[in-house]
Structure 1
Amino acid sequence: MESWVRFSAQSQAKERVFRAAQYACVLLGHALRKGGARAELLTTVQQLEAHVSLARKLMRLGNSAESLEAAKRAVHLSDCVLRLCITVAHLNRALYFACDNVLWVGKTGLLPHIDQNKWSQRSFRYYLFALILNLTRDAYEIRLLMERESRNSLAKGSLSSPSALSPGLDNSYSSSDSPSSPPDLVPFPALPLRMVRLRRQLHLLVTVLRYNPPLLLDLLKNLCDVFIPLDRLGLCSTGPGFVGACGLSSSILSILTILYPWLKLKP
């Protein structure tokens, strides 16, 4: 199995290039259809997209083994949230690749009686669940980094005092105000306080993503990818143009992580 995993890793870059070409064809077909291109040209682009998709499925034969190996490695992570999200995501990817292999067998005519629509829907469900887990993992890591950044800022004294972060909270009463004053006479400070907290959280989020390019790329890639199964499953109809743009964008981001391994999110 280890030799097959190494072989799959070597072909991953080619598969990403073919994926970018496939979704570029989807985007091109949508643009040509909007522009009123000839039917023959549209048919040619659709056939090219179908051939590229079939070639991708051939390249992904046996990728289930790679996902299972990744799941076995993720089981040993110390963080329980990361362990759960990454392990279950890899298991769902293994099931997704298995369904994709069945689809390839059906499309090549080796087993022509396979219900391709059923297997396609099944594969996209596994794919969607894996992406949701990946996004959950991204959100969890962002929260941890934001908390760490907040603690570091407090330790360096870069955050303002509580009174400064709560405009109007300490100045709501003058020195002559009585503690028994009716609450409806006190200016309402919640809205400015919430705005300050929101600005602080947005600043922390931008800081965390700015100094963690692997996390930023993984988040963008998963956000782009998640619209593909949502559209194919009929949960969020976005259209072929949007799906093609999302698929092409996520493919380019994946190629970047292969060309520059330090951009790949670990573990």
Structure 2
Amino acid sequence: MDFWVRFNARSQAKERVIRAAQYACTLLGYTLQKSEVAAENRRIISQLEAHLSLTRKLLRLGNSVEALEAAKRAIHLSDCVLRLCLTISHLNRAMYFACDNVLWAGKTGLISKLDQHKWSQRSFRYYLFALILNLTRDVYELRLLMECEARHRTTKCPRSTCPSSTSPVDHFSSPSSPATEVALPPIMWASIRNQANLVATVLYSNPPLLLDMLKNGCDLFIPLDRLGIYPTGAGFVGACGLASSVLSILTMVYPWLKLKP
């Protein structure tokens, strides 16, 4: 099994490049359709996209094993939230790849009379669940880092020693004072700006988390569109798929950009 995982890891880079090409074809086909180019050119692009999709499915034949191995590693994490999110996410990915393998067998004729639409919808449901869990993990890690950054700022510059340490509440004679009603919106906007600044600081100093959130966010629109939950159209799906593929390739070229664990 270890040999298969190592062998399968070598094909992931090729699969990601082919995925980028596939969604580039999706985006190009949508652009050609809008520009009313000859139907023959659109047909060629559509056939190329279908061939690239079939090639990707072939390269993913062993990914279920890798996802199960990742789930076995994730179940030993000390953080209970990360353990839950990552373990269930990897199990959903394993089921997604298994359904994708069955779909590949149906498209190549190895399994006759396969209901390809049903298996495609089933695989995209597992894919959607995995992405939701991945985004939940990203938000959880973002919150932890924001709390750490906030504590660091408080320790570095205590409230009592900061130049602007005077609380806005000190200017109010009572909670029901008319000044309170006037000053509340600015306070709320200041809080929103502080939170936005905190998020930007954390994401800027943690590129792996930023890239993972962007990648999962882009990927999320693909199953939402395929399942009919939130239709966005071929052009938007192609752009999101291309963007997430490029981000995935970046994490392979520069391993330090990959979010761990």
The TM-score bracket by the shorter chain reads over 0.9
Structure-to-structure mapping, 1:1-267, within 5 angstroms: 1-157=1-157, 164=164, 168-173=168-173, 183=176, 185-188=178-181, 189-267=183-261
Deviations 1:62-83 (A, max 9, x none): 2100000000000000000000
**Aligned AA (1:202):** A
SS in structure 2 opposite 1:187? helix
**Per-residue deviation at 1:112?**
2.2
**Aligned AA (2:2):** E
**Aligned AA (1:213):** P
* C-alpha distance 166-194 of structure 1, shift in aligned 2 (>3 A): farther
**Per-residue deviation at 1:167?**
6.5
Q: TM-score normalized by structure 1?
A: 0.93
Q: Are 1:167 and 1:192, in contact at CA under 8 Å, matched by a contact in 2?
A: no
Between the aligned partners of 2:87 and 2:176, the Cα distance in structure 1 is 52
Between the aligned partners of 1:76 and 1:212, the Cα distance in structure 2 is 24
* C-alpha distance 38-141 of structure 1, shift in aligned 2 (>3 A): same
**Per-residue deviation at 1:187?**
3.2
For these two proteins, the number of residue pairs brought into alignment is 260
* C-alpha distance 168-156 of structure 1, shift in aligned 2 (>3 A): closer
**Aligned AA (2:30):** H
* C-alpha distance 165-95 of structure 1, shift in aligned 2 (>3 A): farther
Unaligned residue ranges in structure 2 (runs of 5+): none
Q: Are 1:95 and 1:126, in contact at CA under 8 Å, matched by a contact in 2?
A: yes
Deviations 1:17-72 (A, max 9, x none): 00000000000000000000111111000000000000000000021000000000
Give the root-mean-square deviation of aligned CA atoms.
1.8
Between the aligned partners of 1:113 and 1:165, the Cα distance in structure 2 is 72
Q: TM-score normalized by structure 2?
A: 0.95
Unaligned residue ranges in structure 1 (runs of 5+): 174-178
Between the aligned partners of 1:161 and 1:238, the Cα distance in structure 2 is 51
**Per-residue deviation at 1:169?**
2.1
Name the residue aligned to 1:176.
none
- Bigger radius of gyration among the two: 1
**Per-residue deviation at 1:196?**
1.3
Between the aligned partners of 1:100 and 1:11, the Cα distance in structure 2 is 16
**Per-residue deviation at 1:158?**
6.5
Query: Structure 1 vs Structure 2: percent identity of aligned residues?
Result: 65
Between the aligned partners of 1:201 and 1:117, the Cα distance in structure 2 is 44
